Chains A and B, each alone.
Chain A
Amino acid sequence: MTALVAQHLRKTYRTRGRGRPPVVALDDVSLSVGPGEVAGVLGRNGAGKSTTVELLAGARAPDAGRVRVLGLDPRADRGRVRGVLGVQLQGAYLHGALTVRELVRLYRSFYPRGLDPDRLIERVGLGASRDVRFEKLSGGQQQRVSVALALVGAPRAVILDELTTGLDPEARRSMWSLVEDLRADGVTVLLVSHLMEEVERLCDHVTILDAGRVVARGTADQLVDRAGLQPTVTLRTDDPGAADLLARLPAVEHVDTTGPRLVVTGAAATGSTTTDDPARGDLLHAVGAALAAAGVVATETQLRRPTLDDAFLALTGDPLEAS
């Protein structure tokens, strides 16, 4: 049984003002997450990530399509789904005048079984702020409270919408280790993010949303391959003949020159689409060997493999950070 399934989801929102067409938030979005998997949903603001989360969580009904959580319809089978699905909703505020501890205990009371509130508060790094009112917490601390509330019922599946937004690097790492714990415990996790590093590090597979549609899905490596991206080698050299020399190598697609700085792009692999294709691993070696044979002195030589970030850019046509 698949833990989380979305099939052909469509959702439109009415816009204010007479005669304006409704905004299509999601158009034919499908994704599935197997039990115990950690899956990512990636997209810029307005791509439809939060709408997808709200439909999966049953907070809204889709205009068309089907949602299943552990085989159940989250709206028709509300009672069964609520007990096993933990949800962190983006931008959902809590009772502002209640303290961290009061909130976690309150949400714990909704579930017949669950985690110990005090230990959970420690685990998300809020031990020192447990008696502080929610409204007095920083954005990052509020974020951690909402993660704690998503987990307090010991769910079998968790949807985390922007897990680490507003967190400092240390807290971010602590949240990541929390997700690793969830994975170790066999909990299914759907992680919505706009942080490439987070998704690349934690997720078994990724679905990329752009303007309400799924533009790609697969593992991070598959997405990099699908985007047709090649590794590059950068180096510095004062030798004017180096660029031409390297451009003639079979492993090299082309060479960009900016003053003494060369960017050597690898040639597309033929026949194979796996990352352990020898032609790719050998780019650095081929460049190094060719330069050495010609007696060219190069410094600051670096291999750069394409990242999910580059793949996202290539697949959606825009840099993520520009959103």
Chain B
Amino acid sequence: MTTAHHPPTPQVLELPEPGAPPRPVRPGAGAWLALTVAEARMVARDTAGLVIPLGMPLLVLVMNGLAPGLDQVVPGTGGRTALDVYVLPLTLTMVVATVGVINMPSFLAYYRRTGVLKRLGVTPASPAMVLGAQAFVGVAQILLGIALALGVAFVWLGASPPAAPWVAAGVLALAIAAMYAIGMFVAAVAPTPGSAVAIGLVAFFALGALGGLFGPRENLPDALATLGGWLPFGAAVDALGAAWAGLAVPAPALVGLGASTVVAGGAAAAWFRWE
């Protein structure tokens, strides 16, 4: 392989063990770590995908926080203001929903369309590991978005911490599960990366509109307002608001979040295609 024009190339291809029976190879902790780091890099280098979940909720928080009357104490909430029991829960729910319903499906649809999942399928790593790594990185991104929002709310807007922090944490976990399930469903039904973004945005705005994103749910017709309280966006806002106020979390909210997780997650599992 040495030619007249080229210096000898260093031999890097090692001799394989001849005749040794192949051993089963399972990706170890190193592979999981490497794939998680890879997904984190993909997410961090996707500027548009960072602006939506980190920037948009912050904007909603600050614009609402500047409105008059939000510093008024809501009766029966232990001194919490409208900012605490309504705007903050809305902001945190937005962070969860944008990552789960818009960003994650667009990554998965892109990986499927471009053959990334298929390529991983012929290595010892399985394409399912990408889902796991994406979900993990998504949670990290959600926690970052929540930390940003809470930081701004506490430092500049005078917000109070939740009266029941563990309830708030539990509700957040449930909300993440529900939004991820819907995101996986979007990834399952979207034929192309472009349509995944479109379907994700429509799902986000539909859930948001019914969940109080563009104005109080009480302004909606009764049936839609009730429906909005069951669907995951409104349910997460209600449940987080209750946790902030130290009130009992409304049953429809919990049932709605749980049911969304099971139904959307089950449909996604049934319909998800790897290629």
Interface residues of A (CB under 8 A from B): 35, 57-59, 70, 72, 77, 79-85, 87, 89, 91-98, 102, 105-107, 109-112, 115-116, 119-120, 122-123, 133, 149, 151, 153-156, 173, 177-178, 180-182, 185-187
Contacts and interface: CB of A to CB of B under 8 A. Distances in A.
B150 to A, nearest CB: 29
Chain B interface residue count: which class? 35 or more
B122 A181 contact: no
Given A115-B13, A177-B1, 8 more contacts: A57-B122, A92-B116, A92-B118, A93-B115, A98-B41, A110-B125, A123-B12, A181-B11
A178 B6 CA distance: 14
25 contacts: A58-B122, A89-B118, A92-B118, A93-B114, A93-B119, A94-B116, A95-B38, A95-B42, A97-B41, A109-B27, A109-B33, A109-B34, A110-B31, A122-B10, A123-B9, A123-B10, A123-B12, A133-B45, A149-B119, A153-B123, A154-B16, A185-B14, A185-B16, A186-B18, A187-B16
A92 B16 contact: no
Contacts of B1: 177, 180-181
B123 A110 contact: yes
> Could you tell me the dominant secondary structure of chain B's interface residues?
loop
Contact of A105 (B22, B34, B115): B34
B30 A79 contact: no
A181 B13 contact: yes
A93 B115 CA distance: 5
Contacts of B23: 80, 83
B22 A70 contact: yes
Contact of B42 (A98, A109, A182, A185): A98
B35 interface: yes
A83 B12 contact: no
A230 to B, nearest CB: 34
A70 B23 CA distance: 12
A79 B124 CA distance: 6
Nearest to A133: B45
A59 B13 CA distance: 25
Contact of B25 (A94, A107, A112, A177): A112
B151 interface: no
B3 to A, nearest CB: 8
Interface in B26-74: 26-28, 30-31, 33-35, 38, 41-42, 45-46
A62 to B, nearest CB: 16
B250 interface: no
A112 B118 CA distance: 21
B223 interface: no
A173 to B, nearest CB: 8
B38 A102 contact: yes
Nearest to A152: B123
- Nearest 8 CB-CB pairs, A to B? A83-B25, A93-B114, A79-B24, A92-B115, A109-B34, A92-B119, A177-B1, A97-B45
